[in-house]
Amino acid sequence: MNPELQPLIDAYRLIDPSLGAIVPVVLVSLFSIAALVADLFELGTTRGPAEGEEGLAIMAPYLSILGVVLGLVAIVWQALRLDVMAGSYFNGMIIVDGFGVFLTAVILVGTLITLLVTIGYCRRENIQLAEYYYLVLMSAVGMMLLVQSNNLVMIFAALELMSVGVYVLTGFRRRRARAIEGALKYFVLGAFSTGFLVYGMALLYGLTGTFDLAAMGVAVGAGRASPLLLAGLGLVLVGFGFKVALVPFHMWSPDVYQAAPAPITGFMATGVKTAAFAALARFLMTSFDGLASQWIPVLWVLAVLTMFVGNVAAIRQDDIKRMLAYSSIAHAGYLVVALVADSALGNAAFVYYLAAYTFMTLGAFAVVVALGVSGDESTSISRDYGGVAYRHPMLGAAMALFMFSLTGIPPTAGFFGKFAVFSAAVDAGHVGLAVLMVFASVISAYYYLRVVVAMYMGAPEGEPVRVQVPAMAVIALIATVVGVLALGIYPGGWVDLARASVAGLQHGAGLP
Amino acid sequence: MSVPYLTLIVFLPVLGMALVAAVPGTRHDAIRRMTLAVTIAHFALSLPLWWLYKSSGAPYQLVERRPWITAFGIDYHLGVDGVTVLLVLLTTFLMPLAVLASWRYIDQHVKEYHLLMLLLTTGMLGVFVALDLFVFYVFWELMLVPMYFIIGIWGGERRIYAAVKFFLYTFIGGLLMLVAILVLYFYHYNLTGTYSYALTDLLAIDVPLRIQLGLFLTFGLAFAIKVPMFPFHTWLPDAHVEAPTAGSVILAAVLLKMGTYGFYRFAIPLFPDAARVLLPWMATLAVIGILYGAMVALVQPNIKKLVAYSSVSHLGFVMLGLFAFNVVGVQGSVIQMINHGLSTGALFFICGMLYERRHTYEIESFGGLSSVMPVFATIFMIVTLSSIGLPGLNGFVGEFLILVGMFQTHPYMAGLATVGVILAAYYMLRMFGRVMFGPIDDESNRGLPDLGRRELAVLVPIVIVIVWIGVYPKPFLDRTAPSVERFVEHVTDSGLLAVEEPIEVEAPR
C-alpha cells in the first residue's frame, strides 16, 4: 500500500466509529448538494425556463425527497442499533441517544411532508429553483444536528445553519413586498436573539470552563447558583425563547409566518420549533438539572403567558396563516408545560407532543397550500374557506380532523398529546398549571372551530374556486391524516417509544 | 362470555357508517333506508341485553377488559349495570325513530347527516358502558363532535351560535373533569403503587374529604353542565331550539342523561362523602332548576322553547331523586331518566311534525288543531299527560318515587318540588289547549294533514312504552333495583362520615 496514504488511513480510523453517528446528516447534506448540482446540468439543456417561470428544477425535488427518505432509513438503522451506538462522538460534539434519534426522525418526516407539499406549490407558483430544495434540506441538516448537539458551540453552529436557510426561504417570493418585509424582520430579530444566546453561552463558559453540556452539568452542580450563572442561563433562555416563539419573544412570528410561502410556514412551525425545543430541553435537563428549582418558576410564567397570549391573539385572526402562527405560539406554551413538569413523564409527553404537533400542523398547512391558487394563497378564513367542505369533501374532512386534533378532541394525536402533558403536570404537582392549560385550550377551541364553521356551515363569497390537488400533496395529506389518527387511536406504542427515548435525558445521564 | 357483545353494540354504528358511505350521495332515499336498516338492526342487536343482564348477578356484567395503553395503565374496559342497560336500550330504541323523523326534514347533505347520526350513537353508547375513566372521557368528547355538526349544519337560524356554545360549554367541563380524573389517578397510584383508570379500582380507595370536595365539584361541573343544572343551563335552550328535530330529540333524550348518569356512576360513588356534605347545595340547585325551568316555560311563546325549559325542570327532578340517597328516590330518578327520554323525546318529535306542516313553532299561530288532526291530538295528549306525570302513565311513577324518597330525608325540598309538578301541569296543559283546542283562527291550519304512516311509526312505539312503564313499571324497577341498592349502600356507609344517619345538615336558604 502506498505509505503516503497512511496518515489518511489513520485519520479515517480515528473518525470511523463516529461516522455512523452522522450517517443521516451526511446523506441529507449530500443530496442537498446533488440537487443543486443537478440544476446546473439542466440549465444547459435546450429547454430553458419559459415565460414567467423561475428556474427549471426537474431533478432537484426528487433528489431531495430521495435524500430525506434515505436519511429516514439511516435513522431507523440508528434506532435499531441504539444499544450499541448510544454515546457521544466527535469529541463530545454529537450525541446519539433515543431523544435525538426520535426527534431527528420527527424532523425528517416533517421535512418529507414539506417537500411533498412543496413540489405542487412550486409548480403552481412557477418557482422551479433548485436553491429552494437545497435550502430546505440544509435547514433540515441544521435541525438534525441541533437535536443531536451535546456542546454549546455545536448548538450554536447548528442553530445558525438551520436559521440562515429559513431566513432565505421566508423571502423566497422576492417580488412581494410582504415577503421581503417578513424575511428582513425575521433575519434582524433572529440575529438579535442569537446575540443573546451567544452572550449567555459566553457567560456560562466563563463560569464553568466548558462548552460540553454534560461537563457543564457537573460544574453547575446543585444548590445555590451565582447570579452570573443565572444571568447566563437567562440569556440562553431568551435566545431560545425567540427561536421557539415564547411570549414575550414571539412578536416576529405572525408576520414571518404570513410572509413565507405556505409550505415553508409549515416547515418553520414544526421543524424549527421541534429542533430548537429539543436543544433547549437537552440543555436544561443535562446542564441545569441541578438548578431546576431556579428555572421551573420562570418557565411556569412563560408557559402561562405563551398559552394565553397565543390563544387570545389567535381569536381575532382572519388570515389562516396568522391564526396558525398564533396557534403554534400557544402550542409552544403547552410544550413548556411539559418541561415545567421536569420528570421522565414530562419529557416523554414533550417528545410525544412534538411528534403529534408536527403531524397536525403540517397537515393543516398542507390543506392551506392545497386550497391556494396560482398567485393567491387564499388564506382568508371568512372569504376563502366558506363552504369548502362541500366543494372538497376530503380536504374539508382532513382540515376538520386537524382542527379537532389541534383543539385536543379524541381520538386524535393532539388529544393524547394534551392528555400526556396534563398527566405530567398533575403528576409533578402543578395542578394549577394544568387547569390554566384547560382554560387556554377552551379559548383555542373557539378559533379552531371557526375554520370548521366556515368550511361546513358557511357559504362561499363570490365565485367559488375549485382546486386540483397534486398527487404528491395527496400523499402528504394521507400521511398526516394517518399520523394524526395512528398516534391518537393507538398511542400505546408511541408512548413507549417516547418514554424509552427520554430515558437517558435527565440527571446528567448524557455523560459519555 | 367470549363474544365481545358490548363492543359490538358500541361499534356496530361505525360499521354501519361504512355501509351508508358506500351509497352514492345523490340517492337520498337509499341513504335514509340504509341508515334506518342499520339502526333497526342495532336495536335488535342490543335488545338481548335486557335478558343477558341478570339483576341478581355481579355489579358490572358483560365486562370486557383489554389493555389499551399499558404505559399509563389504561384499559379498554366496558361493563353494564342495571341502569346502563336501560339507557343503552333507550338510545338504540330512539335512533331508528330519529332517522324516520328526519326523513323529510333533512334534505341537504343527507349522507353527512346520517353518517354523523351513526357516529353520535357510538359516542353515546361508549359513554354509557365505559368502566375506565379514560375510555369514558374519550367517548364523552367523541360524541361532542357529531352533535356539534348536527346542530351547526342542519339547525335553525342561530345554529352556529348554538353549536359553538354547546361545544364550548361541554368542552370546558370535560377538560376540567380530565384534570380531576388525573388527580384521582395519581392519588390512587400514590396509595397503591399501581396505575389504573378502572372505576372499580378507584372506587376502592378512600380519598380525604378535602380532596373529595374539589374533585366532586370538578366532576360535578362537567356533569351539571350536561344535565343541565341551574345555573349552567343556558346553552340548552339555544341548542334545543336551533337543532334539527332529531338532534333535539337525541339531545334531550340521551345526551342530557349523560350528565345525570355521570353523577350516578362516577361523581357520587367516587366521592360519596363530598356528595353527602354538598347534598343540601345540590338539592337546592335541583329545586331551583325545577321551579325556574317551570316558570320560564310558563311564559314561552314558542313550543320548542317551552319543551326545552320543561327539560330543565324535569332534569331537576332527576337530580333531586339521586340526591335523596335512598333506594326509593334513586329508583325514581332512574325511571325518570327513561321517562324524560321518552316523553320529552316524543314532544320534540311532535314539535318537529308541527314545524314540518307550518314552518313555525309559535304557539300563537296554532289553535283548534284537534278537529283537523284527531290522531295527532290523541297522541299529543298522551305524551303531554305523561310529561305532566298523570297516574297510569310513566311520568307519574318517576316523579312519585322521587318525591317519596326526598320526603323521607328533606321534606321541605320535596314540598317545594311539588310546586314544580303543579306548574308543569299548568304550562303543558295551557300550551296543549292553545295549540289543539279553541277555534281555528288561522286559515292555513284548516287543511293540515293528520299523521302519516311514517309519523305514526315514530310516535306509536314511544306511546306504547309510555303506557307500559306507567301501568307496569315492575320489570324496569326490578332490573335497576340491585344496582340502585348498591349505589345507596356505597354512598351511605362508606368512607369517613359513615356515622350519623341520616345526616342532618341545614339547607342553605
**Grid cell listed for A63:** 433528489
B479 falls in which pLDDT band (50, 70, 90)? confident
Q: What share of chain A is helix, strand, coil (3-state, %, to 5)?
A: 80, 5, 20
At what angle are helices B411-436 and B279-298 packed, to 10 degrees?
A: 20
DSSP string computed for B291-317: HHHHHHHHT-SBHHHHHHHHHHHHHHH
pLDDT at B290 over 50: yes
- State whether residue A446 sits within 8 Å of chain B by CB: yes
- Rounded CA-CA distance B322/B283 in Å is 9
- Residue A442 has its nearest CB partner, among B72, B159, B171, at B171
pLDDT at A235 over 70: yes
DSSP string computed for A111-129: HHHHHHHHHHHHHHHTB--
Three-state secondary structure of B28-54: HHHHHHHHHHHHHHHHHHHCCHHHHCC
Q: What is the pLDDT of residues A379-410, one digit of tens each?
A: 788 888 888 888 888 999 999 999 999 999 98
A510 falls in which pLDDT band (50, 70, 90)? very low
The mean-pLDDT minimum among A311-315, B79-83, B148-152, B439-443 falls in B439-443
Instruction: Return the pLDDT at A223.
Output: 66
- Which of A341, A353, A150 has its CA nearest to residue A244? A353
The SS3 assignment for A320 reads helix
Instruction: Return the pLDDT at B504.
Output: 46
- Rounded CA-CA distance A182/A253 in Å is 9
The SS3 assignment for B66 reads strand
Instruction: Return the pLDDT at A352.
Output: 93
How near does any CA of chain A get to the CA of B144, in Å? Answer: 9
Buried (b) or exposed (e) across B394-413, using 16+ Cβ within 10 A? bbbbbbbbbbbbbbebbeeb
pLDDT at B349 over 50: yes
Torsion of CA B400, B405, B409, B411, to 10 degrees: 0
- Which of B153, B114, B128 has its CA nearest to residue B78? B128
Cβ contact A124:A374 at 8 Å = yes
- Quick one: average pLDDT of B25-49? 90
Q: What is the pLDDT of residues B61-120, one digit of tens each?
A: 888 888 888 888 888 999 998 899 999 999 999 999 999 888 888 888 888 899 999 999
Cβ contact B64:A486 at 8 Å = no
A55 falls in which pLDDT band (50, 70, 90)? low
Q: What is the pLDDT of residues B153-163, one digit of tens each?
A: 888 888 889 88
Q: Environment class of residue B62 by beta-carbon count within 10 Å: exposed (0-12), middle (13-18) or buried (19+)?
A: buried
A511 falls in which pLDDT band (50, 70, 90)? very low
Q: What share of chain B is helix, strand, coil (3-state, %, to 5)?
A: 75, 5, 20
At what angle are helices B453-471 and B374-388 packed, to 10 degrees?
A: 30
First-to-last CA distance in chain A?
36
Which DSSP letter does residue B267 get? Answer: I
- Rounded CA-CA distance B382/B467 in Å is 9
Write down the H helix ranges in A372-430. Answer: 381-384, 388-391, 393-407, 413-427
Amino acid A494 reads W
Amino acid B20 reads V
How near does any CA of chain B get to the CA of A250, in Å? Answer: 27
How near does any CA of chain A get to the CA of B140, in Å? Answer: 9
- Residue B153 has its nearest CB partner, among A408, A427, A456, at A456
Could you give the count of Cα atoms lying within 13 Å of B168 in the half-sphere of its Cβ?
20
- Residue B152 has its nearest CB partner, among A434, A442, A456, at A456
CA diameter of chain A: 78
- State whether residue A419 sits within 8 Å of chain B by CB: yes
The residue of A352, A399, A407, A409 whose CB has the most chain B CBs within 10 angstroms, and thus the best one to mutate to test that interface, is A409
Contact B186 A427 (CB under 8 A): yes
Instruction: Return the pLDDT at A242.
Output: 92
- Quick one: average pLDDT of B283-303? 91
pLDDT at B509 over 50: no
- Residue A422 has its nearest CB partner, among B148, B153, B178, at B178
- Rounded CA-CA distance B162/B238 in Å is 5
Q: Tell me the percentage of chain A whose pLDDT exceeds 70.
A: 94
**Grid cell listed for B294:** 317551570
DSSP string computed for A263-278: HHHHHIIIIIHHHHHH
**Grid cell listed for A209:** 470552563
- Which of A91, A83, A213 has its CA nearest to residue A155? A213
- Rounded CA-CA distance B238/B156 in Å is 10
- Residue B71 has its nearest CB partner, among A407, A419, A496, at A496
- State whether residue A315 sits within 8 Å of chain B by CB: no
Q: What is the pLDDT of residues A268-285, one digit of tens each?
A: 999 999 999 999 999 998
Instruction: Return the pLDDT at A47.
Output: 58
Higher model confidence: residue B105 or residue B46?
B46
Q: What is the pLDDT of residues B191-241, one digit of tens each?
A: 888 888 988 888 888 888 888 999 999 999 999 998 888 888 888 888 888
Paired residues of A373 in beta bridges: A376
Cβ contact B325:B409 at 8 Å = yes
Contact A422 B163 (CB under 8 A): no
Amino acid B241 reads V
Q: What is the pLDDT of residues A131-161, one digit of tens each?
A: 889 999 999 999 999 999 989 999 999 999 9
Contact B179 A423 (CB under 8 A): no
Torsion of CA B250, B251, B256, B257, to 10 degrees: 10
**Residue A449 with chain B: CB contacts under 8 Å:** 148, 164, 167
- Rounded CA-CA distance B176/B184 in Å is 13
Instruction: Return the pLDDT at B497.
Output: 47
- Rounded CA-CA distance A268/A238 in Å is 19
- Residue A422 has its nearest CB partner, among B149, B164, B182, at B182
CA-to-CA separations, B466 to B340, B344, B375, B391, in angstroms, rounded = 10, 11, 17, 11
- Residue A426 has its nearest CB partner, among B69, B167, B183, at B183
Contact A445 B168 (CB under 8 A): yes
Q: Which residue has the cell 310546586?
A: B419
Which DSSP letter does residue B341 get? Answer: H
**Grid cell listed for A506:** 435527565
Q: To which H or E segment does residue A22 belong?
A: none
- State whether residue A251 sits within 8 Å of chain B by CB: no
- State whether residue B142 sits within 8 Å of chain A by CB: yes
Q: What is the pLDDT of residues B469-478, one digit of tens each?
A: 888 888 888 8
Find the residue in B nearest to A393 (Cα): B112
Q: What is the pLDDT of residues A410-469, one digit of tens each?
A: 889 999 999 999 999 998 989 999 999 999 999 999 999 889 988 888 877 777 777 888
Instruction: Return the pLDDT at B505.
Output: 45
How near does any CA of chain A get to the CA of B292, in Å? Answer: 29
Please give the mean pLDDT across all residues of chain B.
Answer: 88
Cis peptide before A263 (omega within 30 of 0): no
Instruction: Return the pLDDT at B36.
Output: 92
How near does any CA of chain A get to the CA of B508, in Å? Answer: 29
B495 falls in which pLDDT band (50, 70, 90)? low
Q: To which H or E segment does residue A345 belong?
A: helix A344-371
Residue numbers of B between 241 and 260 with CB closer than 8 Å to A = none
Instruction: Return the pLDDT at A391.
Output: 87
Contact A438 B182 (CB under 8 A): no
Residue numbers of A between 396 and 415 with CB closer than 8 Å to B = 404, 407-411, 415
- Rounded CA-CA distance A348/A502 in Å is 6
Please give the mean pLDDT across all residues of chain A.
Answer: 87
- Rounded CA-CA distance A49/B152 in Å is 49
Q: ipTM of the assembly? A: 0.88
**Residue B69 with chain A: CB contacts under 8 Å:** 491-492, 495
**Residue A445 with chain B: CB contacts under 8 Å:** 167-168, 171
The SS3 assignment for A95 reads strand
Instruction: Return the pLDDT at A44.
Output: 58
Instruction: Return the pLDDT at A48.
Output: 58
User: Cα–Cα–Cα angle for B86, B464, B474, nearest 5°?
Assistant: 50
pLDDT at A29 over 90: yes
- Rounded CA-CA distance A126/A57 in Å is 10
Contact A457 B175 (CB under 8 A): no
- Quick one: average pLDDT of A234-245? 93
Cβ contact A138:A32 at 8 Å = yes
Rg (Cα) of chain A, in Å, rounded?
A: 22
- Rounded CA-CA distance A356/A69 in Å is 20
- Which of B13, B170, B19, B26 has its CA nearest to residue B98? B13
Contact B178 A419 (CB under 8 A): yes
Residue numbers of B between 52 and 81 with CB closer than 8 Å to A = 68-72
Instruction: Return the pLDDT at B498.
Output: 42
Cβ contact A413:A355 at 8 Å = yes
Amino acid A322 reads R
- State whether residue B153 sits within 8 Å of chain A by CB: yes
The residue of A427, A439, A444 whose CB has the most chain B CBs within 10 angstroms, and thus the best one to mutate to test that interface, is A427
What is the count of residue pairs from A and B with beta carbons less than 8 Å apart?
A: 78
Q: Tell me the percentage of chain B whose pLDDT exceeds 90.
A: 36
- State whether residue B187 sits within 8 Å of chain A by CB: no
Instruction: Return the pLDDT at A46.
Output: 57
- Rounded CA-CA distance B22/B29 in Å is 14
**Grid cell listed for A90:** 466527535
Cβ contact A470:B163 at 8 Å = no
- State whether residue B217 sits within 8 Å of chain A by CB: no
